[in-house]
A and B are shown apart, each in its own frame.
Chain A
């Protein structure tokens, strides 16, 4: 099963990288008022049991993929 984890800077948490990107986009003439930069992790999990796969990825996020102090995450299923 293919799952994607989207990791974002938490709402309200300062994102200097996003701010730098927003400034550069504005410099290019784009009317962008906010940019937030996160991370994407694509996973191939050896099971067809979606519930189990998602539970596993939740644990991965808790133990390694995201730092709950500054990041939130979302698990998305990808088409096979």
Chain B
């Protein structure tokens, strides 16, 4: 931790394109972002949080996120997540976490078979994750989405279990892509891994529009700060 700023790894895969914005947003919100290349066999020293940013890793070949889920850096991410470290997957990062089976379900082509780019409202459905700990249940956050494959689905049994355990963390207010029950973000069992299609890193500066991403990234930074302090 430098000057009380927790180190948060932002992983770049070939084809990631929101890594720069993620670094900028984290820096603005009090973290020390650490760019990490996908071939890294372990996460850098003292990293206390991880962001898998948006983009089109490996050109979305085969299935979105499928090839990136096998990148060397993912072993480190997996170990970090298993140790309780906060991991945030945004858009393509969410797709990667699903393909890596760190999160349940899978993201398919949007129902309307069109790329969707809009500022949308999502509601907070669980505050049991570090990313939403600063929110109240039902809070509405306006955050941009921009994806062609955000139509999340899981089988009935998995889905019922997720809902029962409060692992559906964010829901779109309106159906934007056909996602099951308007799911916009889901967490793992422990709550320390969150994947979401909306882009909080694009929604932190009022000069550029909405600021609904702030609480989610502030939550990540706070969790990383806590982890840094515990490890120090």
Contacts and interface: CB of A to CB of B under 8 A. Distances in A.
A16 B112 contact: yes
Interface string B49-80: 00000000000001100100010000000000
B108 A64 contact: no
A67 B70 CA distance: 14
A67 B178 contact: no
B113 A14 contact: no
The size class of the interface chain A forms with chain B is: 10 to 19
Main secondary structure, interface of B, reads loop
B106 A14 contact: no
A70 B153 contact: yes
Nearest to A20: B113
B62 A65 contact: yes
Contact of B106 (A16, A20, A64, A67): A67
Nearest to A19: B113
B154 A16 contact: no
A67 B106 CA distance: 8
Given A16-B113, A20-B113, A64-B70, A70 B62 contact: no
20 contacts: A13-B153, A14-B153, A14-B178, A16-B108, A16-B109, A16-B110, A16-B111, A17-B109, A17-B113, A19-B113, A39-B62, A64-B62, A64-B66, A65-B62, A67-B66, A67-B99, A69-B153, A69-B154, A70-B106, A70-B108
Interface of B: 62-63, 66, 70, 99, 105-106, 108-113, 151, 153-155, 178
Give me the 6 closest cross-chain CB pairs, A-B, nearest first.
A16-B113, A20-B113, A69-B106, A16-B109, A67-B106, A70-B106
